[in-house]
Structures are given as C-alpha cells and as structure tokens.
Copies of this chain bind each other. A is one copy, B any other.
Amino acid sequence: MEHTEIGVVHTAVTRADRESVEALSAYGVATIHEAMGRVGLMRPYIRPVYPGAGLCGTAVTVLLQPGDNWMMHVAAEQIQDGDVVVAACTTESEDGFFGELLATSFRARGCRGLVIDGGVRDVADLEEMGFPVFSRAVNAKGTVKATLGSVNVPVVCANALVRPGDVVVADVDGVVVVPRERAAEVAAAAAKREANEESKRQQFRAGELGLDMYGMREPLAALGLRYED
C-alpha cells in the first residue's frame, strides 16, 4: 500500500469484484461489521443526510483540504460505474464541499453515492435526486478551489482506513469498509449470519429468553450474579 500523499491521482485501481459487491449490497451495515469480525466501522458521527439513504459500491477515495473541494472535480473523472466516492480531509472541516451540481456530475459517471468526513449542502435536492450521501454535517458554506489534495490514495475517513477499490456499505446504522481482498469472504459470512438469525427471531417472538437460548444462566451464575427479591 502506498502511503497517503498529497498531490497525486492514482488512475489504476484494483476494485473488489462486482459479484461480491452485489452480494454485500444485500446486507445491512451491522451484519457486515459482525461478519468481518467487528472491525471496519467509521465513527458514528457520519450520518445519512436524508431518511432512507443507503449505498454500496467500490471506493474512489479523495483527500480534501479544509474548505476546498477542488479534488472532488478531479475525482469525478476517476469514477466508474458502481463506485462510491469516499472523501476524507487533511483536518476537521465541516464546510459544504458537495452539492447538487457535483451530485449530477458524479451520477452521470456512474457513482452510487458519497461518504464524506465533512459537510454537504443542497440536501433537499440530493433527496429529490435520490443521491445518497453520508456526512458529518450539513452546511451551506461554500468552498474554494486553490490547494492540491489527492485522489485514490489510501485515506483515513472518520477513523476508518479506506483504500481505493475497497467496498463501502452505508445505511441508517452507519458506514462499514470491507477491504477488497476480503469482499467475497465477508459476503459469505454475512449470508451465514443472516440465515442463522431467522430461527432466533422465531424463538424470541415465541417468548423464549436469550438466557435459555444462549445458555447464559450458568456462566452468569459462575461470575456471581445474584437474584434477590
């Protein structure tokens, strides 16, 4: 993996295979995070900008400078059908780096959505377009085009490492990053996990207790849990 560096655009990206991305798109973020062994989540301050937003795709990464969205335009050219853009920043910045015009451009290139550790604007338009965005802020503040960042370098976005081509899945529960090499394996584990849940759901619905279903009474007692009137 190359180091994070400023002033470079990597044009050759190894993307996770389409089939695995498609498979992952069937699962929620919580399920995928569990299937990965409980790693890969972004910080929960990244939230959908409208209700019902969700996305799954391969990452085109962007490293922004504070208050400057120039690299978003550079990134647009690198988007392929099925990609999502993941935008990190060299520092904390909640300006409106992205709005309806860039969404129009990104969508025309085949982009499935945006995850950004920054702010966005034109949120009513984004909802009307159905262009899913997950961000740390909504902010009308405009940005400049003055300083270089990078495209398709590894970035840390909301405390998660994202490399170009990794799979990014986002829904109301959060955002998870699946390394491209693990995409197939994680999709399989997610399927297995979900299959396993339906029988539990039925048991819970019938009033059975997790204490019994999971055999918890003995270990709880062993640790000394006391029941008192």
Contact = CB atoms under 8 A, between A and B. Distances in A.
B205 A122 contact: no
B6 A137 contact: no
A39 B90 contact: yes
Interface in A1-51: 1, 3-12, 28-30, 33-34, 37-41, 43-44, 47, 51
A223 interface: yes
Contacts of A205: 104, 108
Interface of A: 1, 3-12, 28-30, 33-34, 37-41, 43-44, 47, 51, 65-68, 70, 72-74, 76-77, 90-96, 99-102, 104-105, 108-109, 119, 121-124, 137-142, 144-148, 154, 156, 158-161, 171-174, 176, 179, 181-182, 197, 200-201, 204-211, 214, 216, 220, 223-229
B39 A6 contact: yes
Contact of A141 (B4, B91, B146): B91
A174 B140 CA distance: 6
Contact of A182 (B3, B29, B41, B122): B3
A190 to B, nearest CB: 13
Given A44-B140, A66-B67, A124-B172, 15 more contacts: A4-B40, A7-B225, A9-B225, A30-B96, A33-B141, A38-B90, A44-B138, A66-B66, A73-B216, A91-B95, A91-B141, A108-B205, A108-B206, A138-B172, A156-B159
